[in-house]
Amino acid sequence: MQTNFTAEQLADPHVAEAEAILRKCVHCGFCTATCPTYVTLGNELDSPRGRIYLIKDMLENGRPADDQIVTHIDRCLSCLACTTTCPSGVDYMHLVDHARIHIEKTYRRPLMNRLTRNMLAMVLPYPGRFRLALKLAALGRPFAGIFDQVKSLKPMAAMLRLAPSKVAPPSNFAKPAIHAPAATRRGRVAILTGCAQPVLDPGINEAAISLLTRLGVEVVVPQGEGCCGALVHHMGREEQALDSARRNVDVWTRASEAGGLDAIIVTTSGCGTTIKDYGHMLRLDPAYAEKAARVSALAKDVTEYLSTLDLPVAETKGLTVAYHSACSLQHGQKVTMAPKLLLKSAGFTVKDPPEGHLCCGSAGTYNIMQPEISARLKARKVKNIEATKPDIISAGNIGCMTQIGSATGIPVVHTVELLNWAYGGPRPKALDRRTAV
Ligand code: SF4
Ligand code: SF4
């Protein structure tokens, strides 16, 4: 794509990066076929190519964001299916990141939209606040229908409906600790506790730590770790996201200096995609660029790391698992085979649902901020998954698990919980939702 930025504009390294990305796009439109919003809405401006044109026009003319561009960029799920499809290697992820920062700096959102976004940014990254908010949401759920009547309050209704009816107590596994290996030592890792996942499902990291230590891996839950920053990053709140990244880089650098780390294990693939991008996010910060690049290189999805440990083939369980490949794992991190191969070795029959490349509509806070498109994607995803007639649905991202679990009676279980069970750990509690299992 031809671009016409001035030398002065290109002196800004962020604009220069955006320009280099834009120039790679050859307008072929292959990406439209796999873009969930284009497939759902059929509007070119809700396709990757359409958004790329809008971003080019805004940046090249150095103008503030307007209603049109905000509408179409807000509708983008950041699922990154377009980056998997694009034959020219267009780095849409960093282009849309830059567009979101520009929007945040130059556009004044309507009041309710602003308040909702502020509330999400102030609550979700903090487990204590999030836990309290979920308890309050359980009380407010009967009013969801009333909120649904007013367009600007629909996100509130979506939030109330998504909140679980019960919130588990805080897990001991979320506290700073060093979990010693329970077999001959073969590695040392840190694990991300994160923010929303330990509140919504503390059993996931409990299973990961339990399995890893039984396999001989020392697992460090470092003091001071927090939210990876993905949520605010996707809102274009750059400084807040970079602060989260710097804090975690410091924490993991200390953990590495204290005893070495073979990996930083992430059990929520949405967070994993962001942590693997810390090196890029902090590339212009001389105090952090190198450290952040080291942290990104160490970050591994739990299934990526487990694949290096040569787990034995387990006896068949006689259970069929539909593997839902989270966008952040398949498109963001390009981890596609490891979870399925591990599940097969662990004795499960694994099914790939049709249209596996399409997002389930969860996408961080998308299911709250864009409830209508999200609901359509969820219904399509669940129909495709149920068509495989599975006993269990497996996924590696709490957002997808919550989204899909809200629309099906089939238990949704994190991949690492199934692996932990297959290799001697307890049966995942979610399986109690279906008595036949
Ligand atoms: S597939 Fe790639 S090159 Fe083609 S229009 Fe989409 S982003 Fe541009
Ligand atoms: S990230 Fe997903 S929703 Fe956004 S343009 Fe790409 S394919 Fe479409």
Nearest ligand, CA 45: 2
pLDDT at 251 (0 to 100): 98
Phi then psi dihedrals of residue 191, to 5 deg: -125, 140
Is residue 76 within 8 A of residue 50, CB to CB? The reply is no
Instruction: Give the distance (Å) from ligand 1 centre to CA of residue 54.
Output: 14
CA of 230 to the centre of ligand 2 (A): 17
Give me the pLDDT at residue 433, please: 67
The ligand minimizing its distance to the Cα of 90 is 1
Residue 429 phi/psi, 5-degree rounding, is: -60, -30
- pLDDT average, residue stretch 370-382: 97
- Identify whether the C-beta of residue 420 lies closer than 8 Å to the C-beta of residue 211: yes
Q: Mean pLDDT across the chain, nearest whole number? A: 95
The predicted pLDDT at position 405 comes to 95
What is the DSSP code (8-state) at residue 316?
A: P
Question: How confident is the model over 119-134, as pLDDT tens digits?
Answer: 999 999 999 999 999 9
Burial tier of 312 (Cβ tally within 10 Å: 0-12, 13-18, 19+): exposed
Residues lining ligand 1, Cβ inside 6 A: 25-31, 48-49, 52, 82, 85-86, 88, 90
Q: Each residue of 233-283: pLDDT tens digit?
A: 999 999 999 999 999 999 999 999 999 999 999 999 999 999 999 999 999
* Dist. CA 22 → ligand 1 center (Å): 10
Strands 217-221 and 177-179: antiparallel
pLDDT beyond 90 at 437: no
Q: Distance between CA 196 and CA 226 in Å, rounded?
A: 10
| Ligand 1, atom 4, residue with closest C-alpha | 28
pLDDT of residue 434 exceeding 80: no
Q: Cα–Cα distances in Å, from 49 out to 15, 83, 186, 321? A: 19, 11, 47, 35
Which residues does ligand 2 sit against, CB inside 6 Å? 35-37, 48, 51, 76-82, 92
- pLDDT tens track for 18-27: 999 999 999 9
Q: What is the DSSP letter of 287?
A: T
Say which ligand is closest to the CA of 76. 2
Q: What is the 3-state secondary structure (H, E, C) of 333-372?
A: CCCCCHHHHHHHHCCCEEECCCCCCCCCCCCCCHHHHCHH
pLDDT at residue 370 tops 90? yes
Q: Given a cut of 80, is residue 48 above it in pLDDT?
A: yes
61 burial via Cβ count (<10 Å: 0-12, 13-18, 19+): exposed
Residue type, 107: Y
In this predicted structure, what is the pLDDT of residue 147?
87
Helix (H) or strand (E) holding 265, with range, is strand 263-266
Quote the CA–CA distance of 41 and 50 in Å, as a whole number. 13
Residue 242 CA to ligand 1 center (angstroms) comes to 29
CA angle (167, 170, 172) in 5-degree steps: 145
Structure-block tokens of residue 94: 């960093």
CA of 91 to the centre of ligand 1 (A): 10
Summarize pLDDT for 324-345 with one digit per residue, the tens: 999 999 999 999 999 999 999 9
Q: Which residues pair with 220 in a beta bridge?
A: 178, 190
The rounded distance, in Å, linking the Cα atoms of 314 and 333 is 27
| pTM for the predicted model, two decimal places | 0.95
Closest atom, ligand 2, to C-alpha of 83: 6
Residue having the nearest C-alpha atom to atom 2 of ligand 2: 79
What is the distance between the alpha carbons of residues 309 and 269, in angstroms, rounded to a whole number? Answer: 20
- Using the atom order of ligand 1, give the atom closest to the CA of residue 88: 3
Residue 205's nearest CA partner among 147, 277, 268 is: 268
Strands 392-395 and 320-323: parallel
In this predicted structure, what is the pLDDT of residue 184?
95
